[in-house]
A and B are shown apart, each in its own frame.
Chain A
Amino acid sequence: MSDDKTTFKRACDHGYLRCETCESVYKQDDCPDECDFCGSPIHQRKPENIARAWAFLIAAAVFVIPANIYPISIFEALGNKSPGTIMDSVIYFFDEGMYGIAIIIGTASILIPIAKLICLAYLIYTAQFGKRSRLRHRTILFRGVEKIGRWSMLDIFVVALLSSLVQLGSLAIIFPGAAATSFCMVVILTVFAAESFDARVMWDQGLKNEINGGKNAER
């Protein structure tokens, strides 16, 4: 396809290894098992990255269902309980005409977790089966998924603040509902999934296919 993609020097082809933590570079011939400087184990690639990423991702996907069905916070006023799911709070803000807040909450707690699951599934799938298209864009997508994940904790923090503030005896109480734990798990598990995935694997597979399918197959 293009020349510049196959001419750049890759560490795995030239026999170099890199410490994940402290960025020390070793020659493969005299590479220690653990980094001389920081002591963390050195691998060519993260161990079992695709299997681990799938496992975390599937676990997160399972938790998405209770997180959206059960109420995340329960508002109790004068003995009447009115449970509210994540969707309810978005709708509430839309009805009140506060579109900015509605968009922020909707993005952080519904759109981002779902988009993250879909994007990660796409990334892991394409890496596993060695798709070679859009390697650079997929890397950028991976970086974005990594960065944005933590903002999903927003809803948990909102519930924490509300439940510690609105404690007016029998008059009005807000307390966290069943979805809070599942939602928390979704966020944490998707972050773990992104962390255990190794972006270099998709470059390995993609470039291998490109070289084998291209004209310089003898390399």
Chain B
Amino acid sequence: MSRRIQSDLIICRDCDTIYEYKHTKVRQPVHCTVCGHHLYEKKTRFIHRGFSFALTALILFIPANLFSLINLDKVGNNRNAVVFDGVIDFFRYGKVACGISLFLFCMIFPLIHSFTQAYVCFGLLYKVKLPGMVKALKIHQKVAYWTMIDVYILAFFVVLIKLGDIAHVKLMTGIFFVFAYLIASLAANYACDNVMLWRRLREFTYDE
């Protein structure tokens, strides 16, 4: 359809330099010679790996939010916490903006991020034209910056150390799932280069 797209060219995001798109070997990142921006990198079987890691992350995300992460035991008071408890507490004390951002950044966006990646990679992998693949990849790219599970894990360790000397803190099943989710989603991110994913999707959409 669209012959207007110059698919043999690529333009650097930061300094507007034009490059010809060359078919490089795998694991040979192409950088902008002017400003050093990472342009694209072909990776081994990136659709396969992207799909499997994103699916793994998606599955792990369910127990990560159901099981409690941490248990605090002090003079008969027993408290468990899941990610969603933080949201509820922010709302209860009237910090709506914090509550919404915690809910979005640590629960909704990671879910969307993994789901859209799995969706697009599934379509590309099995050559199925799923509805709204372009839109899904667009959302995937937009949401990527705002998934903050890694920051959450760091916060978790800070809390662990802070409370460690005051009360008896016990790690629960949930945190291992959150950790596993983090590793799977990082692997999924690493497997797929966004530029390559867009190119593959464009080739797939226009000339079958």
Contacts of B198 in A (CB 8 A): 22-24, 38
CB contact under 8 A between A143 and B6, given known A165-B163, A180-B98: no
Question: Does residue A62 face the partner (Cβ distance < 8 Å to B)?
Answer: no
Q: Which residue of A lies closest to B1 (CB)?
A: A36
With beta carbons under 8 angstroms apart, the residue of B13, B75, B134, B154 that contacts A199 is B13
Q: How far is the CB of A82 from chain B (nearest CB, A)?
A: 14
Chain B interface residue count, CB cutoff 8 Å, equals 65
Question: Does residue B145 face the partner (Cβ distance < 8 Å to A)?
Answer: yes
Q: B163 contacts A157, CB within 8 Å?
A: no
With beta carbons under 8 angstroms apart, the residue of B6, B79, B88, B151 that contacts A151 is B151
How distant is the Cα of A72 from the Cα of B97 in the complex, in angstroms? 14
What 1/0 flags go to A159-184 for Cβ under 8 Å of B? Answer: 11111111111011001100011001
Q: B35 contacts A136, CB within 8 Å?
A: yes
Q: B134 contacts A38, CB within 8 Å?
A: yes
How distant is the Cα of A5 from the Cα of B101 in the complex, in angstroms? 43
Q: Which residue of B lies closest to A168 (CB)?
A: B77
Q: B4 contacts A26, CB within 8 Å?
A: yes
How distant is the Cα of A101 from the Cα of B157 in the complex, in angstroms? 9
Contacts of B126 in A (CB 8 A): none
Question: Does residue A116 face the partner (Cβ distance < 8 Å to B)?
Answer: no
Contacts of A169 in B (CB 8 A): 77
Question: Does residue B129 face the partner (Cβ distance < 8 Å to A)?
Answer: no
How distant is the Cα of A24 from the Cα of B195 in the complex, in angstroms? 10
How distant is the Cα of A37 from the Cα of B5 in the complex, in angstroms? 9
Question: Does residue A193 face the partner (Cβ distance < 8 Å to B)?
Answer: no
Question: Does residue B102 face the partner (Cβ distance < 8 Å to A)?
Answer: yes
Counting residue pairs across A and B whose Cβ atoms lie within 8 Å, the total is: 205
Q: Which residue of B lies closest to A181 (CB)?
A: B97
Q: B4 contacts A164, CB within 8 Å?
A: no
Question: Does residue A110 face the partner (Cβ distance < 8 Å to B)?
Answer: no
Contacts of B159 in A (CB 8 A): 158, 161-162, 165
* Contact residues of B between 86 and 119, Cβ < 8 Å to A: 86-90, 93, 95-98, 101-102, 105-106
Q: How far is the CB of B167 from chain A (nearest CB, A)?
A: 8
* Contact residues of B between 171 and 208, Cβ < 8 Å to A: 195, 198-199, 202, 205
| Chain A contact surface mostly | helix
Chain A interface residue count, CB cutoff 8 Å, equals 70
Contacts of A27 in B (CB 8 A): 4, 6
Contacts of A22 in B (CB 8 A): 134, 137-138, 198, 202
Contacts of B130 in A (CB 8 A): none
With beta carbons under 8 angstroms apart, the residue of B4, B6, B155, B165 that contacts A158 is B155
Q: Which of A105, A155, A165, A176 has the most CB of B within 10 A?
A: A165
CB contact under 8 A between A154 and B15, given known A37-B5, A163-B89, A180-B98: no
Contacts of A11 in B (CB 8 A): 11, 16-18
Contacts of A199 in B (CB 8 A): 13-15, 35
Q: B101 contacts A184, CB within 8 Å?
A: yes
* Contact residues of A between 1 and 46, Cβ < 8 Å to B: 5, 8-12, 14, 16, 18, 21-27, 30-32, 36-40
What 1/0 flags go to B1-36 for Cβ under 8 Å of A? Answer: 110111101110111111000000000000001111
Contacts of A185 in B (CB 8 A): 97
| Pairs of residues from A and B, 10 with the lowest C-beta to C-beta distance, nearest first | A160-B86, A157-B155, A164-B85, A36-B2, A18-B11, A199-B14, A25-B9, A25-B6, A168-B77, A139-B35
Q: List 8 A-B contacts (CB under 8 A).
A: A25-B6, A36-B2, A98-B161, A154-B155, A156-B101, A157-B148, A162-B159, A164-B79
- Using A36-B5, A40-B138 as known contacts, list a sample of 20 further A-B pairs with CB atoms less than 8 Å apart, ordered by residue number in A: A10-B17, A11-B11, A16-B6, A18-B13, A23-B199, A104-B154, A136-B36, A139-B14, A154-B154, A157-B86, A157-B151, A157-B152, A157-B156, A158-B155, A160-B86, A161-B155, A163-B89, A172-B74, A176-B90, A181-B98
